[in-house]
Chains A and B, each alone.
Chain A
Amino acid sequence: AQSVTQPDIHITVSEGASLELRCNYSYGATPYLFWYVQSPGQGLQLLLKYFSGDTLVQGIKGFEAEFKRSQSSFNLRKPSVHWSDAAEYFCAVGADTGGFKTIFGAGTRLFVKA
């Protein structure tokens, strides 16, 4: 069965520092991979997605993620964090098994310090 693990419950980085949020998935074939961001009191917003092709995908707000099949990972990165990036980040995986479900990780809360 598909699963998604986000090992870090929360992370604190200084403004201007680089960021990497980890995501590991479990699925037998190449999955559909997503990163979403949730600001307080709001729903989830799609940052980026990976289906196939180039393993480094660019998203909105300066984020990127790299798909590494050998490590079953899809880590999210940003070279320089802004205070407005403080939010909860969810990794998600969908499998084209004829079903529809997208499985979400438990989320990583990002704190940004001045």
Chain B
Amino acid sequence: GAGVSQSPSNKVTEKGKDVELRCDPISGHTALYWYRQSLGQGLEFLIYFQGNSAPDKSGLPSDRFSAERTGGSVSTLTIQRTQQEDSAVYLCASSLDGRVGQPQHFGDGTRLSIL
């Protein structure tokens, strides 16, 4: 597709379960970002991938959160042992080359609800 694709669009799970969120960036974009948006809040940076460089994980809130990007394209954000405070919309974005002046293109997000 032409844009950033995220799946699933909605995910409801029980506390303590693991979840995987998927992001398919725009073809040719080397930079990929994950953000968390809690209700009524701005965007909280989670992790950044740029090409083959080591990802910047400085925004991950705990060691329950991890992400990988295979083949420089699709990325998966994994949350282990989910907690209710993990409930949020998780947004993925990509940009052409990761330079700060490049605009980011966002997917529609995954709305995660932890029961």
Contacts and interface: CB of A to CB of B under 8 A. Distances in A.
B78 to A, nearest CB: 20
B25 interface: no
Given A46-B103, A94-B100, A100 B42 contact: no
Contacts of B109: 42-43
Nearest to B41: A106
Counting contact residues on chain A (CB < 8 A from B), the size range is 20 to 34
Given A43-B93, A43-B108, A32 B43 contact: no
22 contacts: A34-B103, A41-B108, A43-B91, A43-B93, A43-B106, A44-B43, A44-B93, A44-B104, A46-B103, A46-B105, A49-B101, A90-B42, A94-B100, A94-B101, A95-B100, A100-B100, A101-B45, A101-B100, A104-B35, A104-B42, A105-B42, A107-B41
Interface of B: 4, 31, 35, 41-43, 45, 48, 50, 56, 91, 93, 98-101, 103-109
Interface of A: 32, 34, 36, 41-46, 49, 51, 90, 94-96, 99-102, 104-107
